Amino acid sequence: MYVYYYETTLGKMGIVTENDQVIQVFFGKKRVIAEEKETELIREVHNQIHEYLMGDRKQFDIPIKITGTPFQKKVYKALLKIPYGQTSTYEQIAKMLNNPKAYRAVGLSNGKNPIAIIIPCHRVIGKNGNLTGYAGGLTRKKKLLNLEHKNNEIL
């Protein structure tokens, strides 16, 4: 496993890879049991995130390994289906998973997303259209959503 940190327009971000797959992207600097090394894959992840943050990329083309409980994995796969520039709600995702009453569990899973930005949990908003929690902070969530809606700020 390798980890490396970069400064971005959203603050410091860490990228963790294992066996040529991305397993974590997170904000800040946290203790990760991994060798701190900028590998070719980590550099490519950073480049794609940078392009995204500059408005030059709408989807990512990097190998990821989705981890978590079976339910969390289903949620993360559903999040990957939310197109750039669109949002969904916890309830809509629960319905996508054929479990309409599981919207709270979807929210909890969303908050544990290990691969920020690439698995776009920031695209999930409250049923009433309001911003709801985001592990990276609501200020970052608002910036990400406005980036994707730059011609039409929504929040």
Query: Is residue 6 domain-shared with residue 43, that is, in the same domain?
Result: yes
Query: Is residue 80 domain-shared with residue 140, that is, in the same domain?
Result: yes
Residue 105 covered by a domain: yes
For the chain, give the mean pLDDT.
Answer: 92
Q: What is the pLDDT of residue 154?
A: 53
Query: Is residue 91 domain-shared with residue 34, that is, in the same domain?
Result: no
Which of these ranges, 3-12, 99-108, 141-150, has the smallest mean pLDDT? 141-150
The domain total for the chain is 2
Residues in contact with 16: Cβ distance below 8 Å, sequence separation at least 6, in sequence order? 1, 2, 3, 22, 23, 24, 25, 32, 34
Confidence (pTM) = 0.91
pLDDT in tens, 49-105: 999 999 999 999 999 999 999 999 999 999 999 999 999 999 999 999 999 999 999
Residue 60 covered by a domain: no
Whether residue 155 is predicted with pLDDT greater than 60 in this model: the reply is: no
| Cβ-contact 68, 114 below 8 angstroms | yes
Helices (H), 23-135: 40-53, 70-79, 90-96, 103-111
Q: What is the pLDDT of residue 152?
A: 56
Structural domain span for residue 21: 2-53
84 belongs to the catalytic site: no
Residue 64 covered by a domain: no
Query: Is residue 76 domain-shared with residue 139, that is, in the same domain?
Result: yes
Rounded CA-CA distance 96/100 in Å is 8
Query: Is residue 46 domain-shared with residue 105, that is, in the same domain?
Result: no
Residue 154 covered by a domain: no
Query: Is residue 144 domain-shared with residue 96, that is, in the same domain?
Result: yes
Q: Which of 82, 93, 94, 121 is catalytic?
A: 121
Residue 98 covered by a domain: yes
Query: Is residue 41 domain-shared with residue 82, that is, in the same domain?
Result: no
Residue 61 covered by a domain: no
